[in-house]
Every structure is written in C-alpha cells, then in structure tokens.
Structure 1
Amino acid sequence: MKIQIKRKGINTIEIPLNAGIYANKVMAEQLLSFSFQTSKLLDLVVGDTLLYKGEEYMLNNTPSIRKTSRFSFEYDFAFEGPRHLLSKLFITHLGARKFSFSGTAQEWLNFIVDCVNSKSSGWTVGQFEDMGRVTIEFDSTYILDALTMVAEAMKGEWGVKGKVISLKKTVGTARALTFKYGKGEGLYSLTRKIIDDKKIVTRAYARGGSNNLPAGMRDYFTIDGYVEKNVSIYGLTEGEFIDEEIYPKRTGT
C-alpha cells in the first residue's frame, strides 16, 4: 500500500505505508514516521504533506539519509500532525512574548486560538470544562508548551483534532505504545524512537542583556521586530536569538 505525498497541493511521490510507524498520544506527539530502504533518492523536502486518517501531516525536519551500498539508501523521517505547528509558534499577547494571563478553560482556549490564528488560520475552539481559573506567566514560550502548562495547572488535558483545540479533565486514553503497519502482521508494539532535527527557524526574534535597561523595561533588553527568511519554503517557525552583550550603551564623557 502506498501513500501520496504532496507539495503545495501538487502530487509528487508515493511512499510505502507499510513502512510507517503511527503514534498519536494524549498531550504528546502525533506522528507518522518512516524507516525503509530504497534503490533511489527520494524527492522529499521540508513542507511536503500527506493526508492520513483525515488529517494533514507535514514533513517539518530534513529526512535522514544513509547510503548503505552503491544502489541502496536508508531513509528515516517523520510527518507530523497539525498539533506540531503549535510547537513552532510563540504564544504572545499584544505583541509581547513575556506576559502573564489569567482565565478559565474557555477563556484560555479563546486566547490561544486567537493567538494561533494571528500567525496561521483555521483554528477553532473545541470542547472545554469548568476547571477553575489559573494564572500563568510566559517568557518566549511555544504555544504547545503553553497549552501543556495550562492543562497541568488545571489538572486536566488538552486535545487537538485537526485544527480544533479542546481543554477538559480528560480528553482520551493515553497510549503507551507506538504501532507499525506491517504487511500481514497487523499491529505490534515497537521500541524504536524518532530523533527530531533542530527546527528550521524562519522568523527570528532577538533579545539582549539586563544592563542599563530603560524605564518601563524589565528583566532584559527587548529588541523590536524580527527577521524573516524562507517562510515561503519551510513555513513559519519562530525562534529567539539571545545575546547578553546587547543592551543600551552609555556614551559621552
């Protein structure tokens, strides 16, 4: 069985689904990862997508390729589900990455969905339950980490189905096993883990040190704006550059 790979909506290559390892865990990874050998190099680039179980998965990291013989290549790569976009974007409030917010589950979901949609599109609020009100402070925190912090503070769980985010006491049963589709073998547990590459940052923010801070600025020197590169190729992935030597310098005698 083959599964179709697309690039910007256009069909490219097909890869063997029976070489795929599927993992979908509560408040954790959602992956369709592959490890197999082929006689030729594959046309795979970051940003490629596939459709699986009604959801779009994206290749967010460069495939690992090892040449095992003159005409044999071993590939390792993973397509990630929609929730992994949230691990690439900072949670922000009025443009600030350092802030605190207080809310109920519904208020947190509204806030988080608004934040995601300011950088992406199509995200909506799912189910939620009354679990009280919590206040959390963030400092250059990715949205997925922020969602986990909120869920843990409320002693609940978050869930993402497609682009719908829910926050409840329980969203599902945690799966301890990862499964592989094997020809004629059904499903069986595996111990192999996928190692993620470093993120390809396409929007970089910067912040400096803590010396000579102007009035109204606390903790560290905030540098306005950001630098973008290759967003059209790799999609939006935010990151932060920190240099303690950047701070307001006094001049004069």
Structure 2
Amino acid sequence: MILHFNNTTLEVQPNDSSYRYRSLMAKPQLVLKFSLPRYVEIPVGAYCEYMGETYYLNAPQNIKKQGTRNIEYTLNMGTLQDNMALYKMRNSVDHRLKWSMNAKPHEFLAEIVANLNERDGSGVWSVGTCIDAKEKTIEFNHTNIDAALSQLAETFETEWEIVGTTIHLHKVEYFKADPLPLSYGKGNGFMPGVGRTTPSNELPIKRLYVQGGDRNIDRSKYNNAPNLLLPKSQSIGYDGTYFSDEVGYDATKGHTYTSDADGYYIERTDVVSDAVKEDSLDCSSHYPSRIGKVTSVIAVKPAKNFYDFIDNTIPAALNINDYIIEGETPTIIFQTGMLSGEKEFEFKYKHSERRFELVPQEIDGQTMPNATFIPKAWVYDGSGHVVEEGDTYAIFGIMLPDSYICDNTNKEGASWDMMREAVKHLWENENQKFTFTGTLQSLYAKRNWVNIGGKLKVGGYIHFSDTQ
C-alpha cells in the first residue's frame, strides 16, 4: 500500500487486522494497521488508492511505540463523503441555515449537490438516479449535509447511495433477477453459524389503512370527508417495479390490490392472505393540487412591492375564481425559487389574462415580493424548448375539478397517486420478513472470486437455500 503526502510517498505493509468497511447508507472506511522501524509523521490529508477509490486521512494518526524500532500505526481513512459531516446545509439562494423547502426528491438532491460543490469545487459532485415522488416539506435547522441526506431518504422512505462523487436516491438493489446462490456446507459458501431471526415488530400486513391530506378539500362537496380518500372499489396491479397501467408491467410477477367501497384501505386480492395485522400509512402529503409555472413576471409598482405573474399554461376551463372554497382565503405557495418554503401569498386572479396579483406580505422582517425575493419566469426558445427553468407554484384554498382529485377512467388524480404509494408500501410489507446472518468461507471466496466477486457488494441480492 502506497501513502501519498507532502509530495512524497511511503510504502507500507498493512497487517491482517486491516480492513475496509462498507455498509448501506454509511460512509466507507479504510483502516490501515502497520508497523515501521522508525517514526514517520503522516499528516492529515495523506491519501492512498484502494480498489479504485481514493481514501484520505482526515484525523491524526494513532501510534503505539512497542520499541525504538517497532512503532505501530493505525490510520482511519475515509473518502470525500466524510466532508459531508463538515459542511452545513444552507439555502443555496440566500444562504440561510434555518429554512424549509417543499419539493420533489430530485430537487432536494440537487440542493445537496449544490451545497457540496460550493465547498469542494464546481462539478465535483453530481446528481445520479433519483426516485420520483410527490412534493414534501423538509425543514433544515443548522443541519450538516450528511444528516440532510439521511433526512431526505427518511422523508421519502428510500435509501441513498454514493458511487464516487455521484449521489443516488433510490432503493439500493443489485442482481435482483440473478442473485448469488449461497448455502451452508463445504463448497457452498457459508461457514457454520448461519442463522435466521424474525423481527418481533415486523409481522406481515393484511389491510393497510390510508389517510390523505386535508388541503384543497371542500367537505361540502366531498361527501363530508375531511381528508383525501382512496379511489373507491378500484383495483390495480403491481410487480415491484411497474403498475398494471404502465409499459413494462409483468403480470406473471404482479399482485392485485383493491380499495374498499369507502376509500379507507387497500388489501391484496389476487390471493387469500394468512396475515391478520392491520397497519396504517400517513399520506398527508397527498392532496388535490396543480403545480403551475411562472411564465412571465410583471413589476407593477416595485416601490410598493406590487408584483404580478402570468401562467399561460392554465387551461381555459380552469378559472381559479370558480373553485374557491367558501369561507377560505386562497393562497399561493411557491414550490421553487426565492419565494419557496412556507411563505403564503394572498392574490387576486384575472382569468382572461391568466394573471395573479400578489398581495405583499411581511416575512422574515421584510416585505415580499421585492427586488430580491421575486418569482422567476421560465424562458423558452422559438421552438418552445426550455432555455432556463423558472419557478413553480401551487394554490391552496380551492377545490379543483374531479380530474385533479380522482379520475378512475385514466387512473389519475391525487387519490390514485395516494393509492400507488399505498400499494408500494403494502408490497414491501405483505410477507413475513426474516434476517439471515452468515460468514462467508474465505477459501470458498478465494477459489470462486472471479465468479462471485462482482456480486459481493452492498445491495446485492443473495439466493439463500438450505435442505433443512
């Protein structure tokens, strides 16, 4: 192993107690233990290359003097991922440390990458694959970036993975269709001591109750229901990746899920389940909404904070004034940009112009909108292609048309979005879960490394079998 520091190199021979540690949603570590016949100061920042990755010494070395010519070293080394624990998660626009953001997963991930590149250099970090999900709100309060990434994964009930300097937000799975076969016994992979445990609190779910959000729900027009309901008495298939109304759905692997007549819960209905447990899922982030675009901004009287914006993507049939819930004051919340977060603006709407007149608000000690905190318009070229992305917004205090709430014909609307999330949750939890533990035989690994080495990675599937 060659260590690099101070424009020089040092070759060391790590002993057998050295190791590399990798785990799901954890920073990789390389622990080097070796002895030298003389004392050498290995400074913080020293690095080495191992298995295609660069590891850095981020803390002073640990040493133990066994004799004048026998000095033992322990180096705890990490990758660039360690920097995430050193940096604070700031709003990339105004650099606040205490702030909130309502966005989709990929927008949060882009914000994390922007924070890292601001410190480590432009283009060092990048956004990888990312799940798609409905907007949710995350609050940051002097949060470190590594904690922000974990918070993001927890909020959207998924996992994160970093390959090199590319950050992915998805379930970490590899070789699902071609798992590595392992079993107990000589030449089969596992050493004695293979075990199976059953988590006591993870019984399979039979019935999943779902409760949606209460925003944009007019009880007087929604059968007196205070929250968004599931589509009533509707079914959909899911194969673990695709739904039955999507290209790629595999009916041979798919399960069928059906909602009850009142829209309160779902169950699997293509088989008779032995499970008896009921569970519930909080889907308060699901409610009828339309995410609009700011297509132009008009500075009416900047000195008095009067700014309007136009959204020419609003359909002719959607006159916002016709859908205001009685007794409520409709507001706009910007989903992106300088005005995003928990800031709410009252407005007046002129449908003939698709124009919103924002009412100025006192927020964080200043009147908004203003010359700094102002909506940003989308920019298009002559062919209609996006040149520069602008801001998006949502309106609250309105009861949108049925197509935004529940369209059973096309399986669209907020109710169907909520049902899809519920189906994914039930798919993951409808069968009994077990935890298998085992130690791989070192001789087996050495003899078969060419065939199995590539599959022994975090997230790799293993097909475990046993005759008993």
Query: Under TM normalisation by the shorter chain, which class is it?
Result: 0.5 to 0.7
Among 160, 172, 183, the alignment partner of 1:158 is 160
Within 2, Cα distance between the matches of 1:37 and 1:130? 50
Q: Give, in angstroms, the shift of residue 43 of structure 1.
A: 3.4
Among 26, 48, 54, the alignment partner of 1:50 is 48
- Match in the other structure for 1:137: 139
Whether 2:110 is the aligned partner of 1:110: answer yes
1:9-158 to 2 correspondence within 5 Å?
Answer: 10-19=7-16, 20-93=18-91, 94-121=94-121, 122-158=124-160
Within 2, Cα distance between the matches of 1:162 and 1:135? 28
SS in 2 for 1:170: coil
Would you say the 8 A contact 1:50–1:56 is kept in 2?
yes
Would you say the 8 A contact 2:127–2:168 is kept in 1?
yes
In structure 2, runs of 5+ residues without a counterpart are 176-190, 192-362, 366-468
SS in 1 for 2:112: helix
Q: Give, in angstroms, the shift of residue 171 of structure 1.
A: 5.1
Within 2, Cα distance between the matches of 1:108 and 1:56? 27
In structure 1, runs of 5+ residues without a counterpart are 174-187, 189-214, 218-253
| Larger gyration radius, structure 1 or structure 2 | 2
Would you say the 8 A contact 1:67–1:73 is kept in 2?
yes
Among 168, 171, 196, the alignment partner of 1:169 is 171
Aligned residue identity for 1:140: H
SS in 1 for 2:120: coil
SS in 2 for 1:169: coil
Q: Give, in angstroms, the shift of residue 11 of structure 1.
A: 3.7
Q: TM-score, normalised by structure 1?
A: 0.63
Would you say the 8 A contact 1:33–1:79 is kept in 2?
yes
Q: Deviations over 1:117-156 (max 9, x none)?
A: 1111211111111143332111221111110011011111
SS in 2 for 1:118: helix
Aligned residue identity for 2:115: C
Within 2, Cα distance between the matches of 1:126 and 1:38? 42
Identify if the C-alpha distance between structure 1 residues 172 and 102 changes in structure 2 by more than 3 Å, giving closer, same or farther. Answer: farther
SS in 1 for 2:84: helix
Within 2, Cα distance between the matches of 1:29 and 1:131? 26
Within 2, Cα distance between the matches of 1:25 and 1:131? 25
Aligned residue identity for 2:39: L
Percent identity over paired residues:
26
SS in 1 for 2:12: strand
SS in 2 for 1:116: helix
Aligned residue identity for 1:166: H
Identify if the C-alpha distance between structure 1 residues 133 and 53 changes in structure 2 by more than 3 Å, giving closer, same or farther. Answer: farther
Q: Comparing both chains, which one has the higher relative contact order based on Cα–Cα distances under 8 Å and sequence gaps of 6 or more? A: 1
Within 1, Cα distance between the matches of 2:136 and 2:53? 31
Q: Deviations over 1:5-52 (max 9, x none)?
A: 1236x3421222455310111211301112233321133100111122
Would you say the 8 A contact 1:106–1:129 is kept in 2?
yes
SS in 2 for 1:119: helix
Would you say the 8 A contact 1:37–1:75 is kept in 2?
yes
Would you say the 8 A contact 1:100–1:135 is kept in 2?
yes
Identify if the C-alpha distance between structure 1 residues 58 and 38 changes in structure 2 by more than 3 Å, giving closer, same or farther. Answer: same
Aligned residue identity for 2:11: E
Q: What is the aligned length?
A: 174
Identify if the C-alpha distance between structure 1 residues 14 and 62 changes in structure 2 by more than 3 Å, giving closer, same or farther. Answer: same
Within 2, Cα distance between the matches of 1:132 and 1:68? 59
Q: Deviations over 1:196-243 (max 9, x none)?
A: xxxxxxxxxxxxxxxxxxx947xxxxxxxxxxxxxxxxxxxxxxxxxx
Aligned residue identity for 1:58: Y
Aligned residue identity for 1:13: L
Q: TM-score, normalised by structure 2?
A: 0.35
Within 2, Cα distance between the matches of 1:88 and 1:172? 31
Within 1, Cα distance between the matches of 2:111 and 2:13? 40
Within 1, Cα distance between the matches of 2:14 and 2:166? 26
